[in-house]
Amino acid sequence: MYKLVPNFPLKHHNSFGLDVSASYWLTIESTEDWNSAIAQYPHLLQEKRLIVGAGTNLLFMRDFDGLVISPDFFGYSIAYQDDQIVELEVGAGVEWDDLVAHCVKNGWFGVENLSLIPGKVGAAPVQNIGAYGVEVADVIVKVNCLNLENTEFKSFNNDQCHFNYRTSIFKEKYLNQLMVTTVVFRLQKQGKIFTGYGDLEKSVRELGVPSLENVRRAVILTRESKLPDPKVLGNAGSFFKNPVVTEEVAAALEDLLSGLPVYQLIDGFVKVGAGFLIEQAGWKGRKLGHAAVHDMQALVLVNRGGASGQEILALSQAIQLDVLEKYGVKLEPEVQLVEG
């Protein structure tokens, strides 16, 4: 059954905790629900549209004058398995970390490094979530979607998703048009853990054997030590992407800033640590109105309580300008700005 609510408060549906509302909120549990809702309320098709998971990567500029859709598709089913792999189809509305816990409990490798990322399964392919050396694109076989404009189904294999660093075809070409219904993940039964990122190997060793469970525990401990819990302090994880620059630019920056984290990409490009740049520019822990830069991770902007989206945006723009002036690097937001 679908549920349509007018004038819906979004405070508990955006992890910045911004006090905004939507003209309409629609919860659907199946594609038939969407068909029924638009048959009964055809004007919904004319409304501006926003599909939300848990709202953990959104920055609302003001009240949303349109339709917000929450796809509550639940459940897990095994689409295929053999001695080596299992292909698991998961509903878009499942909490991401419940999926990770489920896989680790069953001894399936592939998503353990992505433990404790806030949000829902449906959003994972949209922004190609990633952490500790793994991206969800590495384990996705298929993304099933409903086209909200013509009610057609469409299935995308991994190549067709055009995955890239924190983006995909669903975020670029089809944002708020294609709604992810289920995602099929390929997990390994005899997999290997990956602890090559930062201090992860050391953190795992401190917990004991290098097992799937210990990778999950180590990632959870690391995240909890650096990233603020959105239930306590509103935030949307990394506010900016780590910028991609040429090897020459990266080398010049490394001369200027010793210790700059750099990650070599293909084709002569290098990703550099935005958090490091922001910290070096003196922004870590700084406050601007009700917004602030987190004091443990400079890539994370927080709502100190009662902030507006405009205030958080103003802080982000001040940081962008300063980093551009000091280091010549343009920071791009990772969070999705939502105009009203």
Residues forming contacts to ligand EPU in the complex (CB under 6 A) are 131-132, 198, 226, 237-238, 241-242, 261, 273, 275-276, 279, 284, 297-299, 334
CB of 236 to ligand EPU, least distance (A): 7
CB of 283 to ligand EPU, least distance (A): 9
For residues 224-246, b (16+ Cβ closer than 10 Å) or e, as one string?
A: eeebbebeebbbbbbbbbbbbbe
Active site annotation includes 223: no
Quick one: 38 or 220, whose CB is closer to ligand EPU? 220
Quick one: 261 or 340, whose CB is closer to ligand EPU? 261
Residue 136 and residue 129 in contact, taking contact as beta carbons nearer than 8 Å: yes
The region that residue 277 occupies, defined by phi over 0 for left and psi between -120 and 50 for alpha, beta otherwise, is alpha
Quick one: 28 or 277, whose CB is closer to ligand EPU? 277
CA 98 – CA 115 distance, rounded (Å)? 9
CB of 55 to ligand EPU, least distance (A): 13
CB of 272 to ligand EPU, least distance (A): 9
**Which among 112, 135, 311, 334 is annotated as catalytic?**
334
Active site annotation includes 166: yes
Determine which helix (DSSP H) or strand (DSSP E) holds 49, and give its type and residue range. Answer: strand 49-51
Active site annotation includes 95: no
Token duo for residue 12: 């508990």
Query: Among residues 276, 275, 250, which one has the least CA distance to residue 265?
Result: 250
Output the CA–CA distances (angstroms, integers) from residue 21 to 137, 150, 339, in the order listed.
32, 27, 12
CA 269 – CA 248 distance, rounded (Å)? 9
**Which among 21, 70, 238, 308 is annotated as catalytic?**
238
Quick one: 3 or 226, whose CB is closer to ligand EPU? 226
Query: Among residues 92, 118, 115, which one has the least CA distance to residue 104?
Result: 115
Quick one: 24 or 276, whose CB is closer to ligand EPU? 276
CB of 331 to ligand EPU, least distance (A): 10
**Which among 112, 115, 135, 166 is annotated as catalytic?**
166
Active site residues: 166, 238, 334
